[in-house]
Amino acid sequence: MDASCLRYALTEAERLAFCQRGYLVFDEMLPPDVVDALVEVSDRVDAAERQKRGVGPYDRLTVRDMIWRDECYLALVDWPRALPKIWGTLGWNIQIYHTVLAYSPAAAPGNLQVKMQGWHQDSGRVNHEIESSPRPRISVKMAYFLSDCSAAGRANFWVVPGSHLLDDIPNDGSFPRNAVPVLVPPGGAVLFDRRIWHSASSNTSAIPRKVLFYGYSYRWLRPRDDQTVEHLFEHCDPIRRQLLGYAPTGGYGYTSPTDEDVPLRVFLRQHLGAEAAA
């Protein structure tokens, strides 16, 4: 990994905003040529999966475990503008545990009402079986937007700012107080804490929403997907292998890692000093 990525390290202002709000929006995360390449690949994957599953042209579709499908997806695992933001929120003992391609096609004729898909925190049973309050962060997601979601009504991702510190929100069918749509241009991204209460929404526009979600967790958390990545290890550098879940010392290396297990720690120690890798 090139040390030039360090220029994109999480700033103190970003860290404070993330801790207070539970998410950050970056308007310029991917350049236009990368967005174009990802759209081409993603359109192909979406079309193939719709045909395979019998999903209609106006229905939302998600595809998990997509890194192996194209080099464009693999490149985002350690994207230099994004990875420093991610280790800035979780530290160096991290891995990819979940990836999703999510398409919300243009609205069907007459569909003008925005509907929520369901307010939730990520990670399912983690929220019921770990005894702490507020619940632990454990993981974050970086969502890369390939289409223009800078206006409301475009199947926006909705959040309740600051709710990552709340274990519950009202579940009486009412709309959460202070909920807002996250507005992101093509090539932009959203980094969010898994605990923030959020929901997908329906598309009432003529613009399809195309988003890639990359979930990062601590290495000791079991991956949420059955990831098809082992065949990629030999062609990846050590840090990318770590992010794909490789542990050369075996199971013990996930909870008590050596430098061989976590080359990202070695990288940070070399370039930022021992304190950054503590």
Nearest to 239 by CA among 50, 55, 94, 39: 94
Question: Rounded to an integer, what distance in angstroms lies between the CA atom of residue 180 and that of residue 199?
Answer: 10
Question: Rounded to an integer, what distance in angstroms lies between the CA atom of residue 236 and that of residue 201?
Answer: 36
Tell me the per-residue pLDDT of 219-253, one tens digit each, with 9 for 90 and over.
999 999 999 999 999 999 999 999 999 999 999 99
Task: Note the pLDDT of residue 210.
Answer: 98
The residues, any chain, with a CB within 8 Å of residue 53's CB and separated by 6 or more, are: 61
3-state helix, strand, coil in the chain (%, to 5): 30, 20, 45
Tell me the per-residue pLDDT of 78-134, one tens digit each, with 9 for 90 and over.
999 999 999 999 999 999 999 999 999 998 887 778 888 899 999 999 999 998 999
- Specify the pTM: 0.96
Half-sphere exposure of 147 toward its Cβ, with a 13 Å CA cutoff?
A: 25
Paired tokens of 152: 């409301």
Classify burial at 4, counting beta carbons within 10 Å of its beta carbon; exposed 0-12, middle 13-18, buried 19 or more.
Answer: exposed
- List domains and CATH numbers for the chain: 3-272 (2.60.120.620)
